[in-house]
Chain A
Amino acid sequence: MNAADLARQLRALLPRGRVLTSAPQLAGYASDGLGFKAWLPDAVVIPADAQELAQFMRGAVALNLPVIMRGAGTSLSGGPVAAQGGVVVHTSGLRAIRHLEANGLWCEVECGVSLQELEQVLLPHGLFYPPDPSSGPVCTLGGNVASNAGGAHCFRYGVTSNYVLGVEALMLDGSLHRFGGPAGGRGPWREDWKRFMIGSEGTLAAFTRFWLRLLPLPEKIWTFRATFADLRATEAAIHALVAHPSAPAAIELLDPRAVAMVESSQMACGLPQGSFMLLVEIDGPAALVDGRVAEVAQLLRDAGSGDVQFSDEAAIRQRLWKARKAAGGLLGQLSPSYVVQDAVIPKRALAEVLQLVYDEADAAGIATVNIFHAGDGNLHPNFLFDARQPDQLEKVERISKRLMQRVVEVGGTLSGEHGIGNDKAAYMPMVFGIVGTRLQLAVAAAFNPAHQLNPLKVFEQRRFCA
């Protein structure tokens, strides 16, 4: 089908929405947060509402092109991109918060609602939705559910799957199904199909709306920042925090290379060179958490930190968070390209795996900084490079492969919260044997047998045959 025919067909399917086909327009949808990998889609459509999205899905099979759902495009794994060409469906038209049931601690939202929009609606009711990926100001709930997003506070609060009560999904045959709902059960189904939907990265269905579980806002939050001279002391602090009854909400780590990056920027905040930085938060009822502050501070000192700062005042807490928050943005300033891995490891293997990252990156001459969710053992090694240099990309891929091999050997997994996308699909055979892969692919076969939805993601075998 030529471009003009495609545009005409799409406009027929979306009389109220938008159809984008010019190269400059498409360029904005060529990549996600994994910016160095780009694929230009054949077209982008922006349905005006859920009804129009349904209309589009009913006609999508006839297009005979891949269909890729996309929220804000902030994912870091090469997920919502047209790796095999096709039509990107941007969900920014589905932004209604349809219902808030404060008494029942749940809400019903459309897939294009951003995390920040939801937060603002919940705040006056004293409620919050806990998953908090760092792209929170812009990322959409659709993307969050698709990638089972996490965030800094999921050590205690858990990831997206812990909060999704129901998913409304549009299949490629045009049928609309509700898996679960405000009650969070199976609904009229024999099986709990929403379990497959959450984290499916747009490969099974197009999501239109969700029912989400909410929690009462914590009354008090204390933030702690501590620096450590070495990893052994940092690990001791992490292990003690994980076992502590105060159940920290967040345990975040910056390695010395990340600290150096922050300190040599305009965002410097006086962290000692060569130090590991831990950022810890405890929250809950004031009467309870206030009584635990001295104990947590002492725990950090006992582990070897001579520099423990903490506060419950918003402005100071913001200052304590500064290095952690700034680090992500600084990565992009340091090199033309970077890739962030998302492995989860048993915490006892932290020193070994981190050393592997350093050794491999140093040997290849690739810069690396590590900023991650230490409480969960969720590593985020960032490799900084120049994708325009072919040998650099190869080096990064080689390091990533060795890292993932070791992660799996120590009992970890490829992704904790970013999803597999096309970035990590090649590593899936490390985790799944032949039988396991067959079971995994059977899920896709049940809902999207031709792999028309988001092909070449999650499993490399998922190729759309037109």
Chain B
Amino acid sequence: MSPAITHGAERLFDHGLDVVDGTLCLPADAKAAEVRAHIGNHALRFPLWLDGQSSLRDHLNASSHAPASSRFGPYGDNVLGMNWRLPSGELLRLGERVVKTTTGYDWLRFALHSGTRFGRAEDLVLRLRPACDFNGMARLDGSAQALQSCAQSLLHSPWLCWWDSVDWLHASGQCWLRVQWHGRATEAALFEEQLRHLAKIHGCSIALEGLPEAQLDGLPDLVLKTTPERVMALATQMAPHCRRTLAMLHHGLLHLDLGGNEACAMQAHEWAQSLAASLHELGGDWHSRWLPARAPDITESKWIQTLEAALHEA
């Protein structure tokens, strides 16, 4: 019988780009330009941006999803690891630098959007995706009914996994569907043809354009999570009261722009309170970067205290 294996030192992630695996480790305060600079000429990209001027940390604090989550999943599926500063000051590695792991309990995804109660991300390991030479965007306009039926077709299309985002937007009194994709210019016509076809079937008008990069919608003030089949109705209900409303149809997520500053905290709080019960019933939730997380009940407090005890002991 071989002797028991003893604990090694805590491992940490080193900054750097791995072009073979498509991973990049860099500070959590990095912004889009820094990520691009690290990637350089390698044909890779990190698709989950909401705002070009905000750091990755700000993104994670604002929402669990970005429009491109429609294709690539939430941040939790695209941040593979973190160097995590514990409340005790120690630095610890959560997650891995490889694309899949089931080694131990998933502290990475648990801590990623938990605010600062359990610690703070110092560095993130991002999963990068192959980059191509074309960003396409389609805007589909039509009656509410036409947009609703068109949205259903988009969500059930075999193209769903190839569109970066499928969103319903409302701003300045207008609502429309937006489909964005990232691919090769040589294949753009195929994407466009499919979207034109769907627009025609549902009686929507369509405008297509190529963009230098994906359209960014900014950090949301209030995020509501519901089911995909309910998100358009909820978006329609909220939209008249918001500066801009973005519904990510595939994941049932709603990003509300209430003004983009702390002054909107009161409004966010009021809506969060009024919608909480109906969201919770479906396993959904709300989140606002301007508001503290809700207080845990007795049961949850007990669980949290057990984790905190271990963190502080550390």
Interface residues of A (CB under 8 A from B): 101-106, 126, 147-148, 150, 154, 158-159, 161-162, 165-166, 175, 177-178, 180-193, 195-196, 198-200, 211, 215-220, 239, 242-245, 247, 284-285, 287-288, 291, 344-348, 376-378, 394, 397-398, 401, 408, 411-420, 426-447, 449, 458-460
Contact = CB atoms under 8 A, between A and B. Distances in A.
B93 interface: yes
Given A401-B5, A436-B10, A147 B109 contact: no
A220 B20 CA distance: 28
Contacts of A444: 105
B8 A442 contact: no
8 contacts: A104-B230, A150-B100, A162-B73, A191-B296, A192-B109, A288-B162, A413-B98, A442-B310
Nearest to A219: B158
B102 A347 contact: no
Contacts of A432: 7, 10, 104
Nearest to A217: B158
Given A181-B284, A243-B43, A429 B98 contact: no
B11 A433 contact: yes
Contacts of B309: 442
Contacts of B142: none
A432 B12 CA distance: 11
For the complex of A and B, 7 pairs with smallest distance between CB atoms: A181-B283, A183-B284, A442-B310, A104-B229, A185-B285, A185-B225, A433-B10
A288 B307 contact: no
Contact of A397 (B2, B8, B228): B2
A66 to B, nearest CB: 19
B18 interface: yes
Contact of B160 (A175, A216, A245, A346): A216
B285 A431 contact: no
Nearest to B77: A162
A158 B77 contact: yes
Contacts of A431: 11, 103-104
B313 interface: yes
B57 to A, nearest CB: 18
Contact of A344 (B92, B101, B162, B280): B101
B283 A161 contact: no
Interface in B131-148: 132
Contacts of A285: 157-159, 162, 190, 194
A378 B21 CA distance: 12
B106 interface: yes
Given A159-B100, A183-B227, A440-B104, A429 B282 contact: no
A290 B282 CA distance: 40
Interface of B: 1-2, 4-11, 18, 20-23, 43, 73, 76-77, 86, 90, 92-93, 96-107, 109-110, 113-114, 130, 132, 152, 155-162, 183-184, 187, 190, 193-194, 225-230, 250-252, 276, 279-285, 293-297, 299-300, 302-304, 306-307, 309-311, 313-314
Given A196-B106, A344-B99, A105 B250 contact: yes
Contacts of B279: 183, 185
A446 B307 CA distance: 7
Among B86, B282, B313, max chain A CB count under 10 A is at B282
A397 B4 CA distance: 12
Contacts of B98: 344-346, 376-377, 411-413, 416
Given A101-B227, A243-B130, A420 B103 contact: yes
A185 B160 contact: no
B158 to A, nearest CB: 4
Given A161-B109, A291-B187, A348 B304 contact: no
Given A162-B73, A216-B156, A216-B160, A438 B103 contact: no
Contacts of A397: 2
Given A216-B155, A446-B306, 6 more contacts: A185-B285, A288-B187, A435-B90, A442-B307, A443-B105, A447-B303
Given A103-B229, A161-B109, A193 B303 contact: yes
A244 B43 CA distance: 10
A419 B281 CA distance: 31
Nearest to B284: A183
A281 B161 CA distance: 15
Given A216-B156, A433-B9, A440-B105, A239 B20 contact: yes
B152 A103 contact: yes
Nearest to B7: A429
